[in-house]
Structure 1
Amino acid sequence: MSTLSQLQPQVLWQWFEQICAIPHPSKHEQALSQYIQNWAKDKQLSVVEDKVGNLIIKKPATPGMENRKIVALQAHIDMVPQKNADKVHDFEKDPIEAYVDGEWVKAKGTTLGSDNGIGMASALAILGSDDIPHGPLEVLLTIDEEAGMTGAFGLEAGYLDAEILINTDSEQEGEIYMGCAGGVDAQITVPMVWQAAEPSLSTYTLTLSGLKGGHSGVNIHLGRGNANKLLARFLFNHADELALELTNFSGGSLRNAIPREASVSFMLPNENLPRLETLIQEYTDLVRQELAIADPDMLLTLSEIPAATQVMSEATQQTLIDLLNACPNGVMRMSDEIQGVTETSLNVGVITTEAESVSILCLIRSLIDSGREEVEGYLTALSNLAGAEVEFSGAYPGWKPDSSSPVMAIVKDTYESIYNKEPVIMVIHAGLECGLFKKPYPEMDMVSIGPTIRFPHSPDEMVLIETVEQYWKLLLAVLERIPEKA
């Protein structure tokens, strides 16, 4: 990690190196939050932790800029904890092992946390600087963005005085975001009925791995494999033929990450083992051919495990397999208004088998409420047919685009003046927190910018070094151009 602090802009990368050193997965941000609070107090900055754990840090204007409009820089403190199966890493205790690989910064076997660590580092670097001109400044650092937007939901009126908010959580240099998708969690619960296992059967676990995964909003249109869906498809086609009796199905780890791995445990007659091994190879070849461009490295691994004492009843097993195979997944509709942007999507994110039920956790995203409601209807109807229950929770609004936004115009004009080219004005199919900020601060003018980050929410996450400096230059230039108060 020592080479990170030598990158430019040095003050930003030094902060990012420090952020990587302090564990901060979703719902476990307190150590990093406390570090930042202690640092802010040492700098004699005003720092407040609100009721849910968000930090609001305020810094006076540099001399001569006191009459500028107040700006809030916003980032989220938490990061997505994802790692490769062979990586030994405790996200609550171990630092992120970030390193430079050519033009990119990556992490060794885990997510990097450039989402949203680079944005957070830029805000903290500006707070700590003595030579960056800016008007009155506020920094809002929210908690738990990746696992439920708890911080954004809990933000109350009265903490911020800013008229302008610059969100730092977008992931493509040269693009300015003025809108985003809303979303809702869907949890389908399949009741579980168990029966005694036949002692003569052998017990195995079949694990599907090797997929790329990624962000369930940003990467959903790329056609990557979903481990949960691919494993369910295999079971739908072959469970009856092989006389499989399921004991467990588990897959994925986050509702907003495309599942890279899933596993199913089952019992089967010994005489069917050769046929199972043949079908595993055939299915591996088939999926690799189908996903040759998008996700070519799927792997199925079979291993014998200690004998089970109970299996799912025949009816329960059939219901579960049918439901999983029929459940929609991926892009539901592309936007007609914004070329190349996904309008509505569904990610079958996490499957967990427990004593009383199997839980299927999905995330619906849509730029329009009616799109979200349509997919809610799909899942409700499917659950009704399967005799399952579905519950929707944590709904958050999209951020409605405002083409007349003054701050967007400032960022656009500033970008053109620095780089002699037009930025792309975009709406992103991901859940930025801006839509939620509109409730306590309805008049706030907002925009989102950031560096180029690839494959967030997966261990392949990387940030393009040169774009961090480009983002930094843009951010500082925009702060200089903020107009005076009316």
Structure 2
Amino acid sequence: MTVFAVSKELPEALQGLQPAPLWRFFGELSSIPRPSYKEQKVLDWLKLFAEERGLAWSQDAAGNLGHIDMVTEKNADVQHDFEADGIRLVRRDGWVTADGTTLGADNGIGVCAALAVLDSPPSMPLPPLEALFTVDEEVGMTGALRLDPGLLTGRVMLNLDTEDWGDIFIGCAGGGDSALTLDLPLEPLAGAAGGWGARGFRLGGMLGGHSGLEIGEDRANALRLAARATAAGLAAAPGVRLLALSGGDKRNAIPREAGFQLAAPDAGALEAATAAVRAAADAFRLEYGALEMGLALTEEEVGSEARRAGLTPAAADRLLLLLLMLPHGVIKHSHTVPGLVETSSNLASATIKRRTPESLTVELVTCTRSSLDRALEDVRQGIARLGRAAGATVHQDAAYPGWVPEPDAPVVHAAAAAIQGVTGKAPAVKAIHAGLECGIIGQKLPGVQSVSYGPTIRGAHSPDERVEVATVAPFYEATLALLRRLAQAA
């Protein structure tokens, strides 16, 4: 078992908050680095929790012991190592947030609610409980996909991983990623060490956010805008070349920042390209108006080594073809559920995987979602065809299934009654355009009844992530009330 330091001191931002056990565990959890694929420290913390309380635990081959990983996003000006540093918590205007990074309330609050229930006194009327903590939820739900169903005997599942308090979710979209890899030829820029000039540009300050929950809000995609600005710069003067372009980070986050570098054979051409990029940024600010008030263009110098070679014009065209034409945003709304996004795709990232003097390898990742399996695969097939037409190697893992709503399941009625008993208001029962593990786990556990609910979280998958303090206590109270109802029905 890994030896590591967990802070037992309650952070100032959490002092005085109720329910105290939940917030105490959240303070400890926040001190443990837990990016996707690197959850070993938090898994060991959970095992220690169980052993200290005499609770049995099992772990499958995937590492599953709700989901314990978190999306690791930070503002560009923040120094933070997600593999080594805990999250710095801040309380502001009734919300708990982090200092310039993602918070991890998605799904840290759900994890800590489960721990608080398991830590309840023996007198608490509870049904027999199993707590499932999955790994790698934020990067394709591979923990749930590889779950050994033999770990579990229960057939009622409470998924504490949604973000609108007072609502109950009983269905979700399925999804699948596409990775397109381009090997792009470079050519030396004649006299690059002398007459050629270069400039770097970065578009940032955009809202970003969850690629399912917030894809319908028409937020700017920094990667798409960077491609548009690049195209404008290349067209501004003869001989302008693209050196590199990258942006985005996580498959399930709308890109907030992206950067690119242009080179030109003389000062006049470089200034023309720069003016075109600046004009494009002005147009973007006009286009997105009050929605993206933070949208900003910054410029930086490019070293002589980086400007020795640029993409051939044909290679730049191949890259821009994909960045400009791959689907992003809402593709279709549901005709059955008013307001529900049915099918969407997120142009998530462009990453430079390898650079040699002769070539640049760039990987583009998209995340596609749909409530309908056929629609999902049709979009993914279109992405694959476009990628191959541009000369990319395309890799697509099998999509994960959606969660088909069962509005008359007994657990749905019990959850609705429990929440109404706390809030005095009947909850809305909804489906969600995001990937929840309920659909995957439901396929592995025939006959399972599921509901999903949670406190109010905003800005998930971005450094603006925050949880509303006033919703956490009623969320936990309703969880206990629901468990009491299930105990009585057992």
Measure the CA separation in 2 of the matches of 1:408 and 1:97.
36
Measured on the aligned residues, the alpha-carbon RMSD in Å equals 1.5
Superposed displacement of residue 3, structure 1: 3.5
Aligned mate of 1:125, from 100, 111, 116: 116
Which residue pairs with 1:477 in the alignment? 481
Letter in 1 for 2:325: A
Alignment of 1:226-237 (within 5 A): 226-237=221-232
Partner of 1:339: 338
**Is the counterpart of residue 266 in structure 1 residue 262 in structure 2?**
yes
Give the Cα separation in 2 of the matches to 1:312 and 1:282: 23
Aligned to 2:3: none
Question: What's the CA shift for 1:394?
Answer: 4.5
Superposed CA offset, 1:142-165 (max 9, x none): 011001212101111211111201
Q: Is the Cα–Cα contact under 8 Å of residues 236 and 322 in structure 1 kept in the other structure?
A: no
1:239 to 226, 231, 234: 234
Residue 467 of structure 1 is aligned with which of 463, 471, 478? 471
Q: Structure 2 CA distance, aligned partners of 1:20 and 1:358?
A: 34
User: SS of the counterpart of 1:303?
Assistant: strand
Q: Does 1:197 align with 2:210?
A: no
Question: 1:318 corresponds to which residue?
Answer: 317
Assess if the C-alpha contact under 8 Å between 2:229 and 2:281 holds in 1.
no
Q: Tell me the SS of whatever aligns to 1:293.
A: helix
**Distance apart, 1:322 and its partner CA:** 2.2
Letter paired with 1:84: N
The alignment status of 1:395 with 2:399, answered yes or no, reads yes
| 1:52 matches 2:62 | yes
Give structure 1 stretches of 5+ with no counterpart: 56-74
Distance 2:15 2:67 in 1: 22
CA distance in 1, matches of 2:58, 2:397: 29
Matched to 2:374, the amino acid is S
Whether 2:110 is the aligned partner of 1:110: answer no
Give aligned pairs, total: 467
What is the CA–CA distance in structure 2 between the aligned matches of 1:444 and 1:239, rounded to whole Å?
56
Which structure 2 residue ranges, 5 or more long, are not aligned?
1-10
**Conservation of the 8 A alpha-carbon contact between 2:233 and 2:274:** no
**Partner Cα distance (2:374, 2:31) in 1:** 43
- Say if 2:250 is the partner of 1:254: yes
Cross-structure match for 2:7: none
Counterpart contact for 1:5–1:17, Cα < 8 Å: no
1:218 counterpart = 2:177: no
Amino acid aligned to 2:280: Y
> Are the aligned partners of 2:459 and 2:465 in contact in 1 as well (CA < 8 Å)?
yes
Matches within 5 A, 1:360-375: 360-375=364-379
Q: Look up the SS of the partner of 2:57 in the other structure.
A: strand
The residue aligned with 1:411 is 415
Q: After the TM superposition, which residues 13-28 of structure 1 pair with which residues of structure 2 at under 5 Å, given as runs?
A: 13-28=23-38
- Percent identity over paired residues: 38
Query: Is the 1:224–1:295 contact (alpha carbons within 8 Å) kept by the matching residues of 2?
Result: yes
Q: Please tell me whether residue 32 in structure 1 is matched to residue 42 in structure 2.
A: yes
Write the distance in 2 (CA, Å) between the matches of 1:196 and 1:204: 17
8 Å contact from structure 1 (residues 236, 325) kept in 2: no
1:89 corresponds to = 80
Matched-pair contact (CA < 8 Å) for 2:26–2:108: yes
- Give me the whole-angstrom Cα distance separating, in 1, the residues matched to 2:116 and 2:68: 15
Q: Distance in 1 between matches of 2:282 and 2:384?
A: 34
Choose which of 133, 140, 156 in structure 2 pairs with 1:141.
133
Separation in 1, partners of 2:87, 2:168? 29
Which has the larger displacement, 268-277 or 195-204? 268-277
Alpha carbons 2:236, 2:272 under 8 Å: kept: no
**Distance (whole Å) between structure 2 residues aligned to residue 276 and residue 393 of structure 1:** 39
Indicate which of 302, 305, 310 corresponds to 1:305: 302
Query: Once the 2 structures are TM-superposed, how far is the Cα of residue 266 of structure 1 from its aligned partner?
Result: 2.5
**Deviation readout 1:117-149 (Å, 9 max, x if unpaired):** 000000001111105321111100001100121
Taking the aligned partners of 1:365 and 1:327, their CA distance within structure 2 comes to 14
TM-score by length of 2: 0.92
The DSSP-based 3-state class of the residue aligned with 1:463 is strand
Q: Counterpart of 2:131 in 1: which secondary structure? A: strand
In the alignment, is the contact (CA less than 8 A) between 2:340 and 2:432 conserved in 1? Answer: yes
User: Which position in structure 2 is the counterpart of 1:64?
Assistant: none
- Quote the residue 2:161 is aligned against: 169
- The C-alpha deviation readout for 1:93-126, integer Å capped at 9, x for no partner, is 1110112112111100000000000000000011
Amino acid at match of 2:296: L
Question: After TM superposition, where is structure 1 displaced by more than 4 Å over at least 4 residues in a row?
Answer: 483-486
Distance 1:20 1:132 in 2: 27
| Structure 2 counterpart of 1:206, one-letter code | F
Distance 2:309 2:106 in 1: 43
SS in 1 for 2:130: strand
Q: Which moved more, 1:19-28 or 1:305-314?
A: 305-314
1:483: how far off?
5.2
Alignment of 1:70-81 (within 5 A): 75-81=66-72
Distance 1:377 1:54 in 2: 31
Q: Does the residue aligned with 2:216 lie in a helix, a strand or coil?
A: helix
1:60 corresponds in structure 2 to: none
Secondary structure class of the residue paired with 1:347: strand
2:386 to 358, 382, 388: 382
Provide the C-alpha distance between the structure 1 equivalents of 2:13 and 2:379, rounded to a whole number of angstroms.
46
Residue matched to 2:6: none
